[in-house]
Amino acid sequence: MTTPSLTSEYASLDPLRTRIRTHRLYSETDDDVNTSVIDVLRLAGSEQLIDIGCGTSEFLALLAERGHAGQLCGLDASHSAAAARLSGAVGIRATAQQIPARDGTWDCLTARHMLYHLDDPLGALREFRRVVRCGGTVCVVVNHARACARTRDLVAAVSARYGFREPPGMLNHDVDSDTVPAMMRDVFGNAEVRSFDNALVIPQPEPAIRFAESLFAFCGVTPGATGYSEVRAEVEAELRRWFATNPGQPWRDPKGYRVITAIRAQALLPRWRRPLCRSGALPYLRHGDPAVGGPEQPVEPRSPAHVTATQRGLCCRGLRFGADQTAQVTNDHPSVSRPPTWTVWP
């Protein structure tokens, strides 16, 4: 029996395209995840943007179509990912865990519907933070835990009857729209969350069958495996039976996702350099309002001894901490021309 893996699942992008097409054609509320992300990001159009796990690259294609002038790059572990074929974009075959880019390269990083494929999502988020510049944005999209559970449960139940199970390493069930906001806050010290609730509403059996079939690999069922045809036939029979016994009714399957954005703080101090925070939570520095446009260089105290000094409300090079843990950038750092206001977060 051939056991599917992430590599085999995305060796062809056809099942992914079927899922995307189903969501586009049969969503109860008119909603397109690409547009949601663009709306949330409020891009100026000049940003250097990398899309991690870009898949079909339709997000990058949409940005290019809308006249995005900044560099666009698609990164994916699958050699089938389409970014390289997109005019004006760069395609990289690499993994989210090891992005081949220097620190602070990108203005904006998106990772849509891919974090739940990773064993160590926090490690990947730290890697995202590394390659985004100070003040840049990381935007992650993750589904609700029970998104499309009705169809997934049906496929899983039929597959299990034929001895198929979800292959290890396909999905990380700890990663969903409930858990990722906290992960983002842990890594970035901030996170903004927008939820999009919806449902698939499929009026005929054929598209419901095609959608169910596009989920087979996640239940360990792959074309060519012994039992594949039986699972396929039984899933089809069950769906047709449901439509026959519920005439005029669509196959409704609730779903939804969250778009979570975080700003890479202008200065995230290494643990030993972080000042004490009243709440006991990790203190991060972030640009106060008006945001963005401050110094390009992170401002750091020079030594552990100096941190002690900052905790007492004294100055360090380029950064002054008040007794209330408010920090201000001073203009005695070479990279600071105009001192903006900074605050310790949270």
Ligand X SMILES: C[S@@+](CC[C@H](N)C(=O)[O-])C[C@H]1O[C@@H](n2cnc3c(N)ncnc32)[C@H](O)[C@@H]1O
- List the interface residues with ligand X, window 247-266 (CB under 6 A): none
Is residue 138 at the binding interface for ligand X, with CB under 6 A as the rule?
no
Our CB check for ligand X shows the closer of 35 and 246 to be: 35
Which DSSP symbol is given to 98? B
d(CA 159, CA 58): 31
Closest among 236, 174, 177, 239 to 203, alpha carbons compared: 239
Is residue 121 at the binding interface for ligand X, with CB under 6 A as the rule?
no
Is residue 96 at the binding interface for ligand X, with CB under 6 A as the rule?
yes
Our CB check for ligand X shows the closer of 77 and 309 to be: 77
Closest among 165, 174, 185 to 119, alpha carbons compared: 174
Q: How far is the CB of 27 from ligand X (least distance, A)?
A: 15
Q: What are 328's strand-pairing partners? A: 320, 341
Q: How far is the CB of 225 from ligand X (least distance, A)?
A: 21
Q: State residue 262 phi and psi, 5-degree precision.
A: -140, 150
Our CB check for ligand X shows the closer of 34 and 159 to be: 34
Strands 251-263 and 132-143: antiparallel
Near ligand X by CB under 6 A, which window of 64-72, 77-85, 177-185, 275-283?
77-85
Our CB check for ligand X shows the closer of 97 and 343 to be: 97
Is residue 117 at the binding interface for ligand X, with CB under 6 A as the rule?
yes
Our CB check for ligand X shows the closer of 55 and 205 to be: 55
Our CB check for ligand X shows the closer of 47 and 76 to be: 76
CB 280 within 8 A of CB 160: no
Which DSSP symbol is given to 46? -
Q: How far is the CB of 110 from ligand X (least distance, A)?
A: 8
Among 5, 95, 172, 297, which residue interacts with ligand X (rule: CB under 6 A)?
95
- List the interface residues with ligand X, window 40-59 (CB under 6 A): 52-56
Near ligand X by CB under 6 A, which window of 71-79, 198-206, 217-225, 297-305?
71-79
Among 50, 114, 156, 200, which residue interacts with ligand X (rule: CB under 6 A)?
114
Q: How many residues bind ligand X (CB under 6 A)?
A: 21
Is residue 77 at the binding interface for ligand X, with CB under 6 A as the rule?
yes
Is residue 196 at the binding interface for ligand X, with CB under 6 A as the rule?
no
Phi-psi region of 224 (alpha: psi -120 to 50; beta: other; left: phi over 0): left
Is residue 183 at the binding interface for ligand X, with CB under 6 A as the rule?
no
Among 15, 16, 176, 336, which residue interacts with ligand X (rule: CB under 6 A)?
16
Beta-carbon count within 10 A of 238 CB: 16
Residue 52, helix vs strand vs coil: strand
CB 104 within 8 A of CB 134: yes
d(CA 167, CA 12): 18
In the chain, DSSP assigns E strands to: 49-52, 72-76, 89-93, 106-112, 132-143, 192-202, 251-263, 284-287, 315-316, 319-321, 327-329, 342-345
Among 78, 159, 266, 325, which residue interacts with ligand X (rule: CB under 6 A)?
78
* Contact residues: ligand X, CB under 6 A: 6, 10, 16, 20, 52-56, 76-78, 81, 95-97, 112-114, 117-118
